[in-house]
Structure 1
Amino acid sequence: MGFVLKGCAVMQKKSSYRWIVMTILFILYTVANADRANLGFALPYIRQEFHMSNTEAGAIISFFFLAYAIFQIPSGFLIKKFGNKVMFCLGMLITSICTGLMAIAPNALAFKLCRLGVGIGEAPVAISSSGTINNWFPPKEKGTATGIFLAGSKMGPLVVPFICAWIIQMWTWHMIFIGFMIPGIMLAVAWWFLVANRPRESRFCNQAEVEYVESGGEEISKSAQSPQRKYNMKWLDKIIRAKKVERLASPKQIFTSTDMWAIAIGYFFVVGLSSVFMSWLPSYLVNVKHFAIMNTAFVSAAPFAGTVVGNFFGGWASDHLLGKRRKPMMMITALSTSVFMYGMLSAPEEPVLLAILLFCAGVFLAFGYSMYMAYGMGRADQKNYPVAFSLVNTGGQIGGAVMPLIVGMILDVFNWDAVWLTIAIGSLICFAVICTATEPVDDPLI
């Protein structure tokens, strides 16, 4: 009995450094995504200075996502070779430096080239971040960790409008990019010293935590005392096509998997909408709703406040209520987004009511957002996961590049009603494509 109690004591003293890593990752990804979102708020002023049409402005937004998409798959292979730590720090440094250079760009061409640099730098950041989660968390915590991580991706756009509004009132739009460069560089250095590629390589993790993560999160003492909630929704497994499948174990298997391509196409539409909110929403509020700068900041932040809430809940629900099923939240996101975008055809004129509508749209958009990252963790083995996610993220970032450009082209010919209707139809297509993918689980009920 004494021996058993001693063993339990050791288990109880397990360190929890993985959650500190998650906290650092949340902060860093908040800053990284602030570097994306700050352009949207500065865009009306940049257009005025460089004399741009809507299509040209959309192209500048797309430059980031185009470079980001092109470098996704190369980044996946580089991370597989050099590790998450090296590529994460390198990516954050490039992102931050290029962000600062945008402030001193002498013309539109130089500005576009700097924006390309931001996209190139951020490509390995997203993949190495997801790889860090995959290495540092057991399967039963990966959905929650991914939800927290992607909440960081929306926390940046949430705080950016208020910071940018204050900077513009105090100085000029140029200082926005200087202000966001400095914390990115500082945090990249902090990551180098505080976060290893995996728990076993970290001096901050004790052996109990290393074994906990590497064993898949199994703790005999805890499982005996408090059994996990049993998933029993057989009807849902039929809808999502739940199956036990072999993990994809090579890049060839990944690139020939129809499941991975379906998820990548679905992510195309989800990231595309998010990029429209991030880059075009302030212009819509200024030019169509004629809001003052602080009302514009308030309403622009609303969908991203919603996505922070939705990401937390979506990851938790997938892990604890849905037995690590990822597709249900993706499907909810696709259908609800179509409804909300159709509702924007009759968007309220009152800032508070419009903010509420956009907040709700953000919540439902984020329910499935993190699941696109978590899906590959269950479909590919750990060694090849960076390649799997690079494929999915390539699809997403192509959407991020294409949708802002399409919005600019639509606005030069039609109006914002045509934009919202286009996104609503795209969300229905997203739902149809996601339905074709298999849900990879170890315990299917069909």
Structure 2
Amino acid sequence: MKTSLSRDGSARWWMLLLLSLGFVQLTLNWFNIAAAFSVIGPRFGLQVPQLALLISLFLAGYGIFHIPTGFLAYRFGLRNTLLAGILLESLGTIATALAPDYAWLLVLRIITGVGASLFVGCGFSMVTSWFRGRELALALGISGGAAFALGAALGLFAWVSLIEAVSWSMALLIGGLIGMLIFAVSLVWLRTPDDEQVELEAKAIRWSAVGRVLGNKDLWLLGLALLGAYGAYFTASQLMSTYAVATFHFSEGQAGLMAAVIVLAGIPGSIIGGYFADRARALKLVILAPPLLLGLGLLVLPFAGVVGTWIIAVFVGFLLIYSFAAWTASPGHYSDQIFPEDVATAEGLMLTLAAVGGFLVPLGFGLIEAASGFTGAWIFLGVVSIIFAVIGFAAREPLKAPAQQEARIAVEEGVK
């Protein structure tokens, strides 16, 4: 079966549609369990720290496997690794729906996170290959931003009504089956671009290339820059509804709407962020200004009241995904050192660093909330968002690919 197509014409936009469906299922089956927290908590006798652990363990599996995903993409091919990720996350969600107790929920959230990790790094890499040099940040904004946010909104809001109608386990089962359908469609139609097929197909791992990527200082700095805001975003998107119920006595429907507002705000954020990132002369500013502003918003959240909390919820969702579109495009712009077959590993490194925040920040939030209440927990999120964003200013300004056509030859000759 032919597994590549020319990037000319409309093919790249059809591939973007398929990859965007993959991102929808990614976050649908990531976030839909949060819509069930109000049922799972009483069902298994869980409090906020135990529910926060479910968030953290998904992100542990998700984060630990980002760099190994790059190795697997080298060894088995980018497309095959991406498809394996969709399959594993979907099966993990189906198994979660059948979990008999909290211990099984913990184990299955790790496994489901591993599947998500296999998909996401390869998904960003595939989009980069199809849109290299043309509308890259916009394409990443549509797929890794807008589609990502749409899936999360479905999981956090639409799944509240579905859970009320059919039970939490059946709702998660439906999410897993949707993932299986997207896997089948992608298996049949997803392709790689002809001009990068050789680089993206299965091959022996070149450890010199791995070392070059993992030793790239700029990737480390930009990865750390989003560590705090990344963890704060996922904590807020899944626990702000719990805060609203406890503090403002929202109904479950109102709380679910607030959670959905956070992630839906990422849809315009991703497209606007991608548009400006493709045209910006200083990409670092597009990446780093939003998490700084996000941190400031979280610092004032516990003092903002109902209206202020709604406004901050919108800006949390908008700002993180605005930054994320440019952030995920940066390995493609460091084209003097990061080549097509390296992008999955490069994205994996950055996502691993961010996922450390995704694991530790919800845990910190849960522990602080249990010890002193929500006020200190929200301030904690704001502080870590700002501190880590400042680190990113030490990174080199990402380069534009057209100026780096001779870089690969120079690097490979240097290796020889």
| Fold-level similarity (TM above 0.5) | yes
Match of 1:384 in 2: 342
Match of 2:330 in 1: 375
Runs of 4+ in 1 over 6 A off after TM superposition: none
Match of 1:297 in 2: 256
TM-score of the superposition, structure 1-length normalised?
0.81
Query: Whole-Å Cα distance in 2 between the matches of residues 278 and 361 of structure 1?
Result: 9
1:420 aligns with 2:378: yes
Q: Deviations over 1:116-155 (max 9, x none)?
A: 1101111110011011112111313211111111221111
Q: Deviations over 1:335-389 (max 9, x none)?
A: 2112211231223325xx6433311232222221122211111221222121111
Query: How many Å apart are 1:418 and its aligned residue?
Result: 0.8
1:49 aligns with 2:43: yes
Match of 2:413 in 1: none
Q: Contact between 2:138 and 2:325, CA under 8 Å: does it hold in 1? A: no
Q: Deviations over 1:276-330 (max 9, x none)?
A: 023212211222221112211211111112111111111111112x14x431111
Q: Contact between 1:314 and 1:368, CA under 8 Å: does it hold in 2? A: yes
Query: How many Å apart are 1:197 and its aligned residue?
Result: 2.4
Summarize the alignment of residues 85-104 of structure 1 with structure 2, pairs less than 5 Å apart: 85-104=79-98
Query: Whole-Å Cα distance in 2 between the matches of residues 184 and 99 of structure 1?
Result: 9
1:25 aligns with 2:11: no
Structure 2: 5+ residue runs without aligned partners? 1-6, 198-207, 405-416
Query: Whole-Å Cα distance in 2 between the matches of residues 80 and 372 of structure 1?
Result: 23
1:347 aligns with 2:304: yes
Match of 2:201 in 1: none
Query: Whole-Å Cα distance in 1 between the matches of residues 105 and 36 of structure 2?
Result: 13
Query: Whole-Å Cα distance in 1 between the matches of residues 310 and 194 of structure 2?
Result: 42
Query: Whole-Å Cα distance in 2 between the matches of residues 402 and 95 of structure 1?
Result: 22
Match of 1:240 in 2: none
1:402 aligns with 2:360: yes
Query: Whole-Å Cα distance in 2 between the matches of residues 252 and 32 of structure 1?
Result: 29
- Partner amino acid, structure 1, of 2:104: A
Q: 369-378 or 184-193: which moved more?
A: 369-378
Q: Deviations over 1:162-221 (max 9, x none)?
A: 32221232132222211201110011111111111224589xxxxxxxxxxxxxxxxxxx
Q: Contact between 1:40 and 1:278, CA under 8 Å: does it hold in 2? A: no
Query: Whole-Å Cα distance in 1 between the matches of residues 396 and 165 of structure 2?
Result: 52
Which is greater in Rg? 1
Q: 94-103 or 361-370: which moved more?
A: 361-370
1:275 to 234, 248, 251: 234
Query: Whole-Å Cα distance in 1 between the matches of residues 174 and 305 of structure 2?
Result: 33
Match of 1:193 in 2: 188
Query: Whole-Å Cα distance in 1 between the matches of residues 80 and 374 of structure 2?
Result: 43
1:133 aligns with 2:133: no
The residue matched to 1:439 in structure 2 has which SS?
A: coil
Q: Contact between 2:27 and 2:155, CA under 8 Å: does it hold in 1? A: no
2:173 to 147, 172, 178: 178
The residue matched to 1:15 in structure 2 has which SS?
A: coil
Summarize the alignment of residues 46-445 of structure 1 with structure 2, pairs less than 5 Å apart: 46-150=40-144, 151-199=146-194, 250-320=209-279, 322-323=280-281, 325-350=282-307, 354-379=309-334, 380-442=338-400
Q: Contact between 1:276 and 1:404, CA under 8 Å: does it hold in 2? A: yes
- Partner amino acid, structure 2, of 1:331: L
Query: How many Å apart are 1:440 and its aligned residue?
Result: 2.6
Q: Deviations over 1:209-264 (max 9, x none)?
A: xxxxxxxxxxxxxxxxxxxxxxxxxxxxxxxxxxxxxxxx8221222222111111
Q: 1:18 to 1:403 in 2, by over 3 A?
A: same
Q: Contact between 1:102 and 1:115, CA under 8 Å: does it hold in 2? A: yes
TM-score of the superposition, structure 2-length normalised?
0.87
The residue matched to 2:274 in structure 1 has which SS?
A: helix
Q: Deviations over 1:11-35 (max 9, x none)?
A: xx95211011111211220111011
Query: How many Å apart are 1:86 and its aligned residue?
Result: 0.8
User: RMSD of aligned C-alpha atoms?
Assistant: 2.1
Match of 1:16 in 2: 10
Structure 1: 5+ residue runs without aligned partners? 1-12, 203-248
Aligned residues: 383
- Partner amino acid, structure 2, of 1:68: Y
Q: 1:281 to 1:199 in 2, by over 3 A?
A: farther
- Partner amino acid, structure 2, of 1:53: Q
